[in-house]
Structure 1
Amino acid sequence: MNIANFDLNLLRVLDALLREQNVSRAAERLALSQPAVSNALNRLRELLDDPLLVRIGRRMQPTPRALALEAPIRSALRQIEQSLAAGETFDPAESRQRFSIAVTDYVELICMPSLLDRLSQHAPGIGIDIRHLSPTLPAEALDKSELDLVLGRFDDVPARFARQHWMSETLQLAVQRDHPQVDGPPDLERFLALRHLWVHGGQTRGMVDQWLGEQGLSRQILYTTPNYLQAAHIVAGSELVAVLPTQLARHFARLLPLNLFDLPFALGPFHLEIVHLAQRQRDPALQWLIVEIQAVAEGARHA
């Protein structure tokens, strides 16, 4: 295909169609009429010799060719935007930008209230859309700009992503305040004898069970859940105990009848990171948001 004969505005239309999978919603996103978007789609189908999106019920399903083009087109549009914006100043006080961030419910609880407070003071027009974070890095969503950044704990991060340390966290044992078997810090034998709740977060094995396994030991896990916030309430109302991140455990110990104890073995801290596409390191809006998120962690360390 000769790029000289290709209307690059059509790429914006294709990007919107792939995001929305609906002509009407894509037209709204682009501030165009529905017939204009339909005409653009027909031109794209002719130029690329592919149907691109096929109607199935009320949705339009992307073809394999369209899916293969999605990430490269979105990346190219992002680079063009950044190049055109080079040298421009970002004014958070006037911005109406929305950011999509993937986090666990635990990170949302410890980060977002403070971040929203900072935004209300310095950037009242900026919006945040939170997505659930799976145990693995959502690389495809970052590549497609469906996510601006993620906050979490990751083992493997491909080189095309930038990663920054956000905060370090430790673990504590949370138990019901009047637990009949726990009236003080438990030793290892008592810890193993307790009935445990485990917040798995989609993982097959956590830090505690990995350490126990290395020692040839195991604990009784009678209840598993992906939800940290529900875990604290369940522990407060039952004889189950749970190992929780310290900041989360301390938060709920102020609200619920919980006692907190150090673990009877040394695990050390785990580390949470901010991850985003490396090519967006020149995006002034995103970098401003990262500085704000870093400030939240700094404030928590001194609280």
Structure 2
Amino acid sequence: MPGICNLNLKSFDLNLLRVLDMLLREQNVSRAAERLALSQPTVSNALARLRSLFDDPLLVRVGRHMQPTSRALALEGPIRAALQQIEQTLNAGETFDPRLSQQQVRIALTDFVEQLCMPPLLARLGELAPNLRIDVAHLAPSLPAELLDRGELDMVLGRFEEVPARFTRRAWHSETLRLAVRKQHPLAHDTLTLDDFLGLRHLWVSGGQSRGMVDQWLGKQGLSRKIVYTTPNYLQAAHLVAHSDLSVVLPTQLANQFAQLLPLQVFELPFDVGSFHLELVYLAQRQHEPALAWLIEQILAVRPA
């Protein structure tokens, strides 16, 4: 581990590494203290000791934030990996009791996947693990590998094209697409043709992507549609379409749910773009952590039919 090899481990307080790890995560003494359940002076004193031991400021104040030095950045990965290895070793063979667990698990999702997964999962956890805490973060289009590596996320559930080999990926659900317009839309028919589709004014749920499945298919045919509004939010998209003459392409499960709640009419697309696949992804080295392994099985158990 860079920087530690020259220190005397017999006299080194390994608890300081937990403090340094949290300071590098939060880059803020107060937040680090809160997450460590320590007082702010205790964390400040630990930082002073770390600076002396490593003969480096480690974190320097820039405006209202603390910025890691190059030495701290070099230490961050090895220290975090070592702490995770220690935790996994200590937890090996540990019996996990979901009824008593107060574990905090961080998952990144899109609002579509949250709507699909969380209602049945929370109902299940309410019975089996009432004190387990789920924190959801917004999922960008690409896999947040660095956040998973640093332990800032425990797992992600979404659609990914490339997943590095150090991660485990579990199939969760395959989904198709449907078109939704408001009921009584002037271009709504019993069946929808390609010309009808191209004649609509479209709202596009981007999810941070530059081009979705529909536009990729149209582009291959030398066609394009008229997009007049873009949003990253499926829920907002459905409400906007229900009260306008816009149309929106939605995942089938979500389109059917919204059609039960809002004045929407759902159509099959007049062309076949295939399906997309949602996967649960997490660091392979963490798959034997009792709480994480248990929760993974619960998420797999609530896969849509």
In which range does the TM-score fall when normalised by the shorter chain?
Answer: over 0.9
Give the aligned residue type for 2:6: N
Query: Runs in 1 of length 4+ with deviation above 4 angstroms?
Result: none
1:227 is matched with which residue?
Answer: 233
Shift of 1:161: 1.0
Give the aligned residue type for 2:273: L
Distance in structure 2 (CA, Å) of the matches to 1:4 and 1:49 = 14
| Structure-to-structure mapping, 1:29-48, within 5 angstroms | 29-48=35-54
Pairing partner for 1:2 from 6, 9, 13? 6
Distance in structure 2 (CA, Å) of the matches to 1:33 and 1:234 = 47
| Structure-to-structure mapping, 1:54-203, within 5 angstroms | 54-203=60-209
Q: 1:35 to 1:181 in 2, by over 3 A?
A: closer
> Matched residue of 1:282: which SS?
coil
| Structure-to-structure mapping, 1:197-276, within 5 angstroms | 197-276=203-282
Query: Unaligned 5+ residue runs, structure 1?
Result: none
Q: 1:210 to 1:32 in 2, by over 3 A?
A: same
C-alpha RMSD of the superposition? 1.4
Shift of 1:3: 4.8
Give the aligned residue type for 1:112: M
Q: TM-score, normalised by structure 1?
A: 0.94
Distance in structure 1 (CA, Å) of the matches to 2:65 and 2:227 = 43
Count, aligned residues:
299
Range moving further from structure 2, 9-18 or 32-41: 32-41
> Matched residue of 2:207: which SS?
coil
For residues 54-102 of structure 1, give each alpha carbon's deviation from its aligned partner in whole angstroms, at most 9, with x where no partner exists: 1234432222322332233222211110111101111101000011110
> Matched residue of 1:154: which SS?
coil
Distance in structure 2 (CA, Å) of the matches to 1:45 and 1:105 = 42
Distance in structure 1 (CA, Å) of the matches to 2:30 and 2:160 = 38
Give the aligned residue type for 1:185: T
1:15 is matched with which residue?
Answer: 21
Range moving further from structure 2, 15-24 or 147-156: 15-24
Shift of 1:295: 1.1
Give the aligned residue type for 1:188: L
Q: 1:17 to 1:110 in 2, by over 3 A?
A: same
Shift of 1:229: 0.7
Distance in structure 1 (CA, Å) of the matches to 2:137 and 2:74 = 24
Give the aligned residue type for 1:165: A
For residues 178-235 of structure 1, give each alpha carbon's deviation from its aligned partner in whole angstroms, at most 9, with x where no partner exists: 1011122211111111111111111011001111111111111111111111011111
Distance in structure 2 (CA, Å) of the matches to 1:26 and 1:227 = 32
Shift of 1:46: 2.1
Distance in structure 1 (CA, Å) of the matches to 2:187 and 2:63 = 57
Distance in structure 2 (CA, Å) of the matches to 1:65 and 1:151 = 34
Q: TM-score, normalised by structure 2?
A: 0.94
Distance in structure 2 (CA, Å) of the matches to 1:224 and 1:33 = 45
Distance in structure 1 (CA, Å) of the matches to 2:152 and 2:43 = 21
Give the aligned residue type for 1:209: D
> Matched residue of 1:254: which SS?
helix
Give the aligned residue type for 1:264: P
> Matched residue of 2:210: which SS?
coil
Shift of 1:284: 1.5
Shift of 1:37: 2.3
Query: Unaligned 5+ residue runs, structure 2?
Result: none
